[in-house]
Amino acid sequence: MSSTVTIFHNVVWSRHKGAVFSALYNLSAAGTIRYAMVQIADTETDRIGFSEVDYSFHRYPMRKLFDGCYEDVPVWKMVVRLTSEVLKSKSELIVLPGYHRPEYWAMLAACIVARKPRAVFCDSTALDRPRRLMTSIPKRIFFSLCDGYFGFGERSREYLMSLGAKRERIFVPCQAAALPRSFSRERALGERLRARRQGEPVFLYVGRLSEEKSIDTLLDAFGRVCAELPQARLRIVGTGGLHDALVARVVSLALSSAVRFVGSLQDEPLSHEYFGATCLVLPSHSEPWGLVVNEALSHGCPAVVSDRCGCVPELIVEGETGLSFPAGDVNALAVALARAPQAFVDVEHTARACMARIARFDPRSAAANIERGCATMLRMREDGRTAARASGIRR
C-alpha cells in the first residue's frame, strides 16, 4: 500500500532543487511513497537577470501555482491559495517550503486544522542567522509544531536542535548541485589538468553581486595579493545590484588590469571557469550552504570560503579541498589567497581529493535522505494510529 507526500517549493528557478526532485521522483518508482510536487512561482526578485528559469532540470510531474515572480503575488492571495492547497490535499504528509513568510505559517495552521503531519525545509544556520530573541521565539514555536525537518548539512542540524528540534527527526544532507547536462565526471579530471597546465594564479568568484556576498572584502584582499603575485587574476562571474559600485572599487584600487567582470554564465562556459581557476573564492558573511562550492569541487577546483558558509564542515578539508578564513577579515583572506597557489600546486592530487569529497553530495543521495525522512515520519504516524487503536481496545 502506497502513501502520498506533497512537497511545496518556492520557485522553479532553483535548478538544484529540480535535480533533487527529479531524483526523488525516480526513486519513488521503486518504492511505496508517491510524491506530488508543487512549485509556487517561477522565480524571485533577486534571481532575475542572474539566470533564466530552466524547466528542463525539472524532470518530474509538477504543478505551478503562480506565473512570474514570487514577490509579485500579493501576500493575501498567496495565503489563500496555499492554505487551500493544504486543506484539499489528500496526502498523508505535507512538506512546507520554509518558515519565514506569513503564508508558510498559514500552511502550518492548515496542516494542524486538517491533522496532517508536516515537515519543513530549513536552509539556515546559527552563523547565517545569528540568534535574536524576537525571531528565535517564533522559529522555536514553528519548529515545535512540525514532525520533521530537512536541512542542508550539520550546521543546519545544529541550528534546528538549538531551537528545540529532535535530532532523530532531522534529515541531512539534502543539498546537491545541478551540474550541466554536458558535464562528465569521467572526463572532468582530464579537463581540469588541461585547463591548469599553465599554472597561473587565477581566483574565481561565482554568485550574485550583493551585499551578503562580501565581494568588497575579496577585492581588498586581492589587492594585497597582487603586490606579492603580480601575475594573479580575479574573475567575477555573476550579476547584481552592486555591479557598478564594485567596478568603481576596482578602479580605485588600481586593479582594472587584473580583475574582470565576466557577467552571468551557465553550463559549459561556467564549467570552463571552474576548470581554469586555481580556486573558487566565496567570502560571504551570510551563506546557508554555498552550492557554488559543490560545483567547484565537482570540477576538481578547490575553494577558499569564509567560516560563515554552511558547507565548511562537510566540504572543506583544510589544505586539500580548500581553505577557510574568518568572514570579513581582509588580512586572513589575503593570506589564504596567497597560500592557495602553493597549497594546490599538485593539480591532480587536489582535483581527486575534491571529487572524492563531493561524490556523496549528488542529487540521488540528497533525494534518498528526503525519502528516508518521509518514510520515517509516515511510519511514526502509522505507529501512533496503531497505538491509539490498541489503547481503545484495552479500554
**pLDDT tens per residue, range 151-161:** 999 999 999 99
Band the pLDDT of 24: cuts 50, 70, 90: very high
Please state, in angstroms and rounded to a whole number, the distance separating the CA atoms of residues 275 and 380: 46
d(CA 153, CA 172): 5
The residue-averaged pLDDT of 223-250 equals 96
Once rounded to an integer, what is the mean pLDDT over residues 287-305?
Answer: 97
User: Does 380 have pLDDT greater than 90?
Assistant: no
Residue 49 pLDDT: 73
Q: Residue 258's closest CA among 277, 235, 242?
A: 235
Go through the domains of the chain in sequence order and give each one's CATH number: 3-176+362-394 (3.40.50.2000), 185-358 (3.40.50.2000)
Checking if the pLDDT of 31 tops 90, the result is no
Neighbouring residues of 200: CB distance < 8 A, sequence distance ≥ 6: 231, 232, 233, 278
Residue 252 has pLDDT above 70, yes or no: yes
- Nearest CA-CA partner of 17 in 48, 45, 38: 38
Cell of 98: 520554509
pLDDT digits (tens, 9 = 90+) for 169-197: 999 988 899 999 899 999 999 999 999 99
Rounded Cα gap, residues 148 and 166, in angstroms: 8
pLDDT category of residue 391 using cuts at 50, 70 and 90 = low
Q: Decide: pTM greater than 0.85.
A: yes
Q: Please, what's the b/e burial string for 259-291 (b: 16 or more CB within 10 A of its CB; e: otherwise)?
A: bebbebbeeeebbebbbbbbbbbbbbbbbbbbb
What pLDDT was estimated at residue 127?
Answer: 86
Predicted confidence (pLDDT) per residue in 131-142, tens digit: 565 568 899 999
- C-alpha atoms less than 13 angstroms from C-alpha of 69 in its C-beta half-sphere: 8
Percentage above 90 pLDDT, the chain: 87
At 382 the pLDDT is: 73
Torsion of CA 382, 383, 388, 393, to 10 degrees: 100
Q: Supply angle C-alpha 202, 204, 207, rounded to 5.
A: 170
**pLDDT score recorded for residue 154:** 94
Residue 304 has pLDDT above 70, yes or no: yes
Is the per-residue pLDDT at 105 higher than 60?
Answer: yes
- pLDDT tens digits, one per residue of 57-88: 999 999 999 999 999 999 999 999 999 999 99
